[in-house]
A and B are shown apart, each in its own frame.
Chain A
């Protein structure tokens, strides 16, 4: 099947500074892709190139199989059939909710019905005659989404769509937006710097750092099997320790561990804190040096010789406390990367 969006080797420099380098992206029909990266990594530039607000120095963009950018083609933004939700929403302050929503719908007998339908979808039927400044942040956000959806675009682009909402609201609006997008059956790309947002919302995540996409995959795959040290740390907390790999086994300070992907030689072993299981033992090799309590879970910081490791426990404290000695065991197969020891660790 033709992907909804396909970008190939997109490259863009501003005043000689490379913002985006050789970026490939593909979004399958009806899927939601998160472009995840720290601020300034070039992810918004990628979005603006897909929308047609920036012209790449090199590379191509296809939307629904149609070439819109590259090799002499430049389709202006208004003919790309992309809907865009801006970080600051960019609602038209002189138009009410209905006026904003209907802005991109061609005039005709179906226009009123379409506006009603979309407002219904986002749950804003009741406020359709309000002006933007009379709406709450969450409502403004949904107007922006409704406005982008109303002309039935082939794809929706969302630029940090939740960064202007407070945390409590963000959780709910995220779920709503995911639901609305899936119900509308539209393909979407959203840009975020929040790994939790990317993992919980997207069907697929592309991790972008310093202008390059380092890895793309489903949230589970990226979290379980990050392709590098940088991706692993960007997606959440991780434990690293040196080891020696041979096939699908690695030998390290925690004993022999099974590998998720075969490796050979000196390696850096990676596993997530929740995979590190502790057993209380006065003669255990590790000591609990700190405990960070979050409510529904907690992180325990462990010292094992010169190594510092983290373990995450869900639920109540189970009697662990600082100063206690424990035995350690890794529950799941681990990842191994070519050893960075002896050369500076990336990042």
Chain B
């Protein structure tokens, strides 16, 4: 009997199968275990607490709430807020993506230094950054002083939309840069090479292959930027742009109109819900784990050639505006204060308080993000998606609203928590949970569920799989998420002011107090410490990112 020829395989049926079975596209997710669902929903519910408070207040007002919301002035504020959010998101996404690509995928000279330097504005509180911009570029600022001898008497005003746009872009693009960096590292280089071999140029590959792959990362980064812009208070108030947050604060603190503040806050929340819905619509539906076998090689870097000059200029400009100016201005006031005889000591307590509360919050956020993300990614469905969306809500609410809601709750319902560190950490978790969720989610999507199944067949229970397989692979995501939360907490102001235990001064509250009273010299030392501590943790984060990734 002759053997079957190995190279003959005429199988008409293999291609002709069109029965119902051929349409089946992969296994359906298993239902989540009860403990995962319970944990995820507990976290989601916690983040809802401030919102529930707001709704209860607004309901208490009845039809007055609607009248307030529809007033022409409030509608105008709403429109301006939307405009600012769109503008900042677009510009921050462009800047962040360009920087991520330059520092990960090209031979840009000094790329790891640029990567660290351009991420640093993340550590700048918007109020310090806005102050630095005003002191440098505003009326009677450093720039005008320099130009005055040349006959330039007026420079464009920094106040209003332009200033707020510039300031917020400079403080938010690192969110896009960080998520896109992670996304770029997750892209199998052979996919790009395949496109090159099919006749695509480098720019075409970027547009047709890299960008579509980066969609989840871009979406996550842009969402963070938009949420930041919506909830920022420091920059818009210092730069006198009438966004919702500024109006809420004016209503609450100046006119003591809590009801108007609550209505405006609800408008802001509604805006956020719209944003989340849009983001959900545009999110790619494809699975994100690498489909090819094994683990792939390290990516190849593109040669910039003559383009390295404009690339370096771009990185330099962004670094100068986002980092250089604040450092220069802060240094200037530090020296002035030192010359005037201010003591530099006494900052230790501030540092201890800031780092302690932020560290606790980082651990708590990562722990809270895990069940929600695992539930949403590994058991996709309407309910798990809803839980995930819910957990994003806290970040959308201005810090001052979350803080007020918790003050109210603490005073009325939970007196044993009121003015305790735990209450402050809870506020941080509500505010910054999405930062941890974003990184953990991106990382989990890159882990093949097959490795988890393999561990099940090797005798591990679901909890054992989580401990031995999922968590070790998630480490980069957990660390990135924790670091992002830590940095944000260091900068956070309204919740720290309202919820910190009595006498619990932090770097942020000291800077704010001093800046508000125009004691710029007293704000300088804490600012510098804040920037340094944050820079060190960011450097550690980036170093780990370099080493921690296999391949």
Q: Interface residues, chain A, CB within 8 Å of chain B?
A: 14-15, 17-20, 38-42, 45, 48, 51-54, 76-80, 82-84, 86, 88-95, 103-104, 106, 131-133, 135, 137, 140, 147-148, 151, 153, 157, 164, 193-196, 199, 209-211, 220, 223-224, 230, 233-234, 236-237, 274, 294, 296-297, 299, 312, 314, 347
Contact = CB atoms under 8 A, between A and B. Distances in A.
Contacts of B293: 88-89, 137, 140, 164
B17 interface: yes
A234 B13 contact: yes
A257 to B, nearest CB: 17
A103 B13 CA distance: 41
16 contacts: A18-B20, A39-B14, A41-B21, A53-B453, A54-B27, A79-B459, A90-B451, A104-B459, A133-B550, A137-B294, A151-B459, A209-B17, A211-B20, A233-B10, A297-B5, A312-B5
Interface string B453-468: 1111111110010001
Nearest to A313: B2
Contacts of A82: 457
B123 to A, nearest CB: 30
Nearest to B465: A78
A287 B64 CA distance: 95
B448 A90 contact: yes
B10 A103 contact: no
A297 B3 CA distance: 10
Given A45-B27, A84-B457, A89 B550 contact: no
Contacts of A40: 17, 21-24
Interface in B1-41: 1-2, 4-17, 19-24, 27-28, 30
B517 interface: no
Contacts of B17: 38-41, 209-210
B296 interface: yes
Contacts of B8: 236-237, 294, 299, 312
Interface string B270-299: 000000000000000000000111111100
Given A209-B13, A210-B21, A78 B448 contact: no
Nearest to A272: B2
A324 to B, nearest CB: 22
Interface in B156-192: none
Given A19-B21, A38-B17, A210-B19, A233 B459 contact: no
Given A77-B457, A88-B292, A195-B9, 20 more contacts: A17-B21, A39-B17, A45-B27, A78-B457, A88-B448, A90-B448, A91-B294, A92-B473, A94-B472, A106-B459, A131-B550, A133-B297, A137-B294, A140-B293, A147-B458, A151-B459, A199-B4, A210-B21, A211-B21, A237-B8
Nearest to B290: A88
A220 B2 CA distance: 11
Contacts of B459: 78-79, 104, 106, 151
B551 interface: yes
A233 B14 CA distance: 10
A211 B8 CA distance: 25
Contact of B456 (A76, A133, A193, A297): A76
Contacts of B295: 91, 93, 131-133
B28 A196 contact: no
By Cβ-Cβ distance, the 3 closest A-B pairs, closest first, are: A104-B458, A133-B295, A90-B450
Contacts of B27: 45, 48, 53-54
Contacts of B294: 88-89, 91, 132-133, 135, 137, 140, 164
Interface in B288-323: 291-297
B72 to A, nearest CB: 50
Nearest to B7: A294
B453 to A, nearest CB: 6
B469 interface: yes
Contacts of A39: 14, 17, 22
Interface string B95-133: 000000000000000000000000000000000000000
Contact of A233 (B12, B19, B296): B12
Given A14-B24, A88-B293, A347 B12 contact: yes
Nearest to A44: B27
Which residue, B5, B9, B451, B461, has most C-beta atoms of chain A within 10 A?
B5
A233 B11 contact: yes
B456 A17 contact: no
Interface string B433-455: 00000000000000010110111
B450 A88 contact: yes
A236 B4 CA distance: 8
Contacts of A14: 24, 28
A42 B24 CA distance: 8
A213 B500 CA distance: 68
Interface residues of B, number: 52
Nearest to A275: B2
A88 B28 CA distance: 19
Contacts of B468: 103
Contacts of A19: 21, 24
Contacts of A147: 454, 458
Given A140-B294, A211-B21, A274-B2, A233 B13 contact: yes
A78 B2 contact: no
A193 B454 contact: no
A268 to B, nearest CB: 15
A77 B450 CA distance: 13
Nearest to A195: B9
Given A17-B21, A233-B11, A51 B457 contact: yes
Given A40-B24, A133-B550, A78 B458 contact: yes
Contact of A17 (B20, B292, B460, B551): B20
B363 to A, nearest CB: 21
A210 B473 CA distance: 37
Given A17-B20, A82-B457, A38 B4 contact: no
A233 B459 CA distance: 41
B460 A78 contact: yes
B2 A347 contact: no
Interface in B320-372: none
Contacts of A195: 4, 9, 11
Contact of A234 (B7, B11, B450): B11
B458 A93 contact: no
B10 A237 contact: yes
Interface in B450-501: 450-451, 453-461, 464, 468-469, 472-473, 475
B21 A92 contact: no
B452 to A, nearest CB: 8
Contacts of B15: 38
Given A17-B20, A133-B551, A294 B458 contact: no
A88 B455 CA distance: 14
Contacts of B20: 17-18, 210-211
B13 A38 contact: yes
Contacts of B2: 274, 297, 312, 314
B457 A92 contact: no
B457 A196 contact: no
A322 to B, nearest CB: 19
Contacts of B14: 38-39, 193, 234
B544 to A, nearest CB: 14
Nearest to B295: A133
Contacts of A196: 4, 6, 9
Nearest to A314: B2
A51 B15 CA distance: 28
Contact of B457 (A80, A211, A294): A80
B24 A83 contact: no
A94 B550 contact: yes
